Structure 1
Amino acid sequence: MAWLNYFCSSSQKPKVGIIVGIIGGFIILLLFSSLLFFLCKGRRKGYKGEVFVDVAGEVDRRIAFGQLKRFAWRELQLATDSFSEKNILGQGGFGKVYKGVLSDNTKIAVKRLTDFESPGGDAAFQREVEMISVAVHRNLLRLIGFCTTPTERLLVYPFMENLSVAYRLRELKPGEPVLDWPTRKRIALGAARGLEYLHEHCNPKIIHRDVKAANVLLDEDFEAVVGDFGLAKLVDVRRTNVTTQVRGTMGHIAPEYLSTGKSSERTDVFGYGIMLLELVTGQRAIDFSRLEEEDDVLLLDHVKKLEREKKLDAIVDQNLNENYNIEEVEAMIQVALLCTQASPEERPAMSEVVRMLEGEGLAERWEEWQHVEVTRRQEYERLQRRFEWGEDSLYNQDAIELSGGR
């Protein structure tokens, strides 16, 4: 019996050895494969770094300011196909914007700046980028990262699938859908909330200085995303205004900013009001073709005239094919006219604009404005009559004196 037990145990030892050997070999093979994979990956990364960092003076510091990425020049050059003309999304006073695709297939928009302070501009640019990177809101365009070289400044943003409000209003390709009225209302409210955040929740507050339909972008769900505020005037909260070079687009610039160069939150409110009129009418802020109809070149004057004549249907974008609520249209026009008053002090703050768009306080504010406007118009007409009468009176007095005594 003992002999039998010994024989059985002895016969199992070779089997156990074979199993242990197979398992050990598999583990060694797995470790070797993993090591080979990481070595190849490391080499690929090293090669990629050598390709990207090829601009004299460029620093390959990939992460800066929290999650904000510092891109290499070569990386953006490859993403945009060497900044090809075919990839241009738009162009403005600050530079051109290019569509790009990163190596991981992420779609981006790259703004290549043409106006920056130099020398010493790099430090100032990075400080500004750091400030802007903390302005995070669902209705503000998020800054992904930036790139600086001795001769270049670039800002990198996510690509907006539905481009801009201006594109959707006036540059649609055949077959692309027109913005319906509910979407336009949502865009108006979203843009207002984005500007409210810049003005009232950022420290220091940020003034956009170029609010218009072309700078209100649309994501995949057609939600409004205010863009280009990264190039805006950063205003210290201890100052009421700052004199600077006037930036913006004619037809959207507030009169006091154009005449004095002093910008404030209320200059943005004026631009926002013009943007509302673009949403309602589908037209440009300045349109010289209206001269052919002996009409006003400025969209604001054109709308004011039709509003006084109670021709609201003539104001609305014809592409809507009468698929809109006339009461909602009237409310949006009223908000726009309140935002575009000549005096900046009389324009509402963006927080008030948000409330009015949500249906709170508009009726009272509009009635008050109407009373002021009627009074002003009557005073203007009275002064005009007085001026004309004064000229006639002076002319008659001269005639009496020249005629001598009777």
Structure 2
Amino acid sequence: MKGCITDAFRGLLCYRKSSVPEDATIPPTHTKIKIYSYKELSFATDNFNTVNLVGQGGFGCVYKGRLKDETLIAVKVLSIDSSQGLTEFFNEIEAVSSLSHDNLVRLYGCCVEKKHRILVYDYAENNSIAHTLFSKTSKPSIELSWEKRAQICMGIAQGLAFLHEEAIPRIVHRDIKPGNILLSRDFVPKISDFGLAKLLSPEMTHISTRIAGTLGYLAPEYARGAQLTRKADIYSFGILLLEIVNGRRNVDTKLPKKDRYLLEKTWFLVEHNQLTNWVNSIGIEIDTKTACNFIKIGLMCTQDTARLRPSMSKVVEMMKSEMEIDIQNLARPMIVSDFMDLCGGGTQYTTTVTNTDHLSTYSLLSTQSTLAKCQFEI
């Protein structure tokens, strides 16, 4: 049923979800970001024609557009109720638009005309990694060589390191996954979708918040205790790194259970000294040593204990190094496949965290007394 929604219905759904009170909104006069009129963006997208619908997620629908000066743009119609004040909205948008890095999608400006909340981004001509590597068609539209994959992995690491350690204020993305990594014409990776991002002031180490993310990329401690730190992004990056190197999703329910979960499969190969042979069988001409190092870095990033995961700047350093990565002291993560089977691998969800005195089959980790109930978004 889910896969049968027509493009027209999806477009209508995106439009309706974006409804907010009809009162006119006037942007603050001091704002530094470019303000687009709704008429201008409607013209650019051919009245938000579903033919131009290039993506959608929990926070909005994205349309390809072309301005009068021929500039290609990505127009994101936010699915919000606008409970957030206008000043707060502009403050957050200004914080994001002020960031400049080769591996971040550039935010051009926004539209806040009447009921509309729309963001305007640079357009990535090669879509997302999810589209490129995991196309639903029998064969992806673009074949990514090992050289391109390695460059993409490095670019994502550098972009995330910038968000965590250099951006002011510091930013935790909260939903690093293939669909949120866009590719430019030259296959430069661009981290996108800051709809889930929370801003960290320098004096803060974590933010307690409602859990939001994508199952399979969600760090175990984040799902368990709703404590948001940069280490949660690092876990997600580790999973993404394994996916890009291997060219497969981290959860593939069509495979036998022993091969279904990429993280568990990778640990099995490491423990049985089969990693090198497996890398050589991926199906593309590959730099075996570098690919094995990237996989080992992915395992370091996905340690159960958050403090044992390296910082993103350390990850970049290791990825640039030609030294072989040593993972002898790494501990294999707890098996989460039963939880993944229960919740439906790869499903986007939010969770409500409550305290309980007893263990539950819904617990993410059976040794914890915290209950994480899955609430699926259809």
- Alpha carbons of 1:317 and 1:139: their partners in 2 closer, same or farther (altered >3 Å)? farther
**What CA RMSD, in Å, does the superposition of the two structures yield over aligned residues?**
2.6
Q: Which residue of 1 aligns with 2:216?
A: 251
Equivalent-residue separation in structure 1 for 2:330 and 2:243 (angstroms): 25
Q: How does 1:51-200 map to 2 (within 5 A)?
A: 57-59=24-26, 65-66=31-32, 68-115=33-80, 117-118=82-83, 120-171=84-135, 176-200=141-165
Q: Distance in 2 between matches of 1:64 and 1:312?
A: 56
Is 2:270 aligned against 1:312?
no
Q: Whole-Å Cα distance in 2 between the matches of residues 117 and 242 of structure 1?
A: 22
- Aligned residue-pair number: 312
SS at match of 2:107: coil
Shift of 1:97: 1.1
Pick the aligned partner of 2:170 from 205, 208, 213. 205
CA deviation after TM superposition for structure 1 residue 101, in Å: 1.2
State the distance in 1 between where 2:179 and 2:246 align.
15
Q: Aligned in 2, Cα 1:315/1:275: closer, same or farther, shift over 3 Å?
A: farther
More helix per residue: 1 or 2?
A: 1
Q: Quote the offset at 1:249 in angstroms.
A: 0.9
Query: Which structure shows the bigger proportion of residues in strand conformation?
Result: 2
Which of 237, 253, 273 is the aligned partner of 2:238?
Answer: 273
Q: Matched residue of 1:81: which SS?
A: coil
State the identity as a percent: 37
TM-score normalised over the length of structure 2: 0.76
| Equivalent residue number for residue 39 of structure 1 | none
1:226 corresponds to which residue?
191
CA contact (8 A) 1:111 1:154 kept: yes
Change beyond 3 A, Cα 1:175–1:224: closer
Segments of 4+ moved more than 6 angstroms: 172-175
User: Matches of 2:331 and 2:211 in 1, distance apart?
Assistant: 29
**What is the 5 A alignment of 1:339-354?**
339-354=301-316
Shift of the 269–359 alpha-carbon distance from structure 1 to 2, 3 Å rule, reads same
- The residue type equivalent to 2:79 in the other structure is T
Alignment of 1:303 with 2:266, yes or no, is: yes
Residue 299 of structure 1, CA deviation: 2.1
Relative to structure 1, is the Cα distance of residues 151 and 240 closer, same or farther in structure 2, using a 3 angstrom cutoff? same
Q: In the superposition, relative to structure 1, how do residues 316 and 155 fare at CA in structure 2: closer, same or farther (>3 Å)?
A: farther
Alpha-carbon deviation of 1:159? 0.8
In the alignment, the residues of structure 1 paired with residue 240 and residue 101 of structure 2 have an alpha-carbon distance, to the nearest angstrom, of 20
> Structure 1 residues 342 and 350 mapped into 2: Cα distance closer, same or farther (>3 Å)?
same
Question: Is the contact between residue 108 and residue 159 of structure 1 (CA under 8 Å) also seen in structure 2?
Answer: yes
The 1:212/1:195 distance shift into structure 2, 3 A limit, reads: same
Of 282, 294, 297, 1:335 maps to 297
CA 1:372–1:104: 2 relative to 1, 3 Å: closer
Is the contact between residue 241 and residue 264 of structure 1 (CA under 8 Å) also seen in structure 2?
A: yes
Of residues 241, 260, 285, the one that matches 2:206 is 241
1:306·1:314 contact (CA, 8 Å) conserved in 2? no
Residue 360 of structure 1 and its aligned partner are, at CA, apart by 6.4
Q: CA deviation at 1:166?
A: 1.4
Contact 1:355/1:361 (8 A) holds in 2: no
* Partner deviation per Cα, 1:40-95 (whole Å, 9 max, x = no partner): xxxxxxxxxxxxxxx8614488x9643x3111112112211222222121111211
1:250 and 1:286 in contact (8 A); partners too: no
Give the letter aligned to residue 133 of structure 1.
S
Rounded to whole Å, the distance in 1 between the matches of 2:59 and 2:96 is 16
Q: In structure 1, how many angstroms separate the alpha carbons of the residues matched to 2:125 and 2:319?
A: 26
**CA apart distance, 1:125:** 1.0
CA deviations on 1:330-362 (whole Å, 9 max, x unpaired) are 101001000011111000000000000001676
Q: 1:362 to 1:247 in 2, by over 3 A?
A: farther
* Larger RCO (alpha carbons 8 Å, 6+ apart): 2
1:132 touches 1:230 (CA, 8 Å); kept in 2?
Answer: no
Paired residues of 1:70 and 1:147 also in contact (CA < 8 A) = yes
- Counterpart of 1:359 (choices 308, 321, 340) is 321
Deviation at 1:105, TM superposition (A): 1.7
Whether the 8 Å contact between 1:207 and 1:229 is mirrored in structure 2 is no
Give distance in 1, aligned partners of 2:50 and 2:280: 32
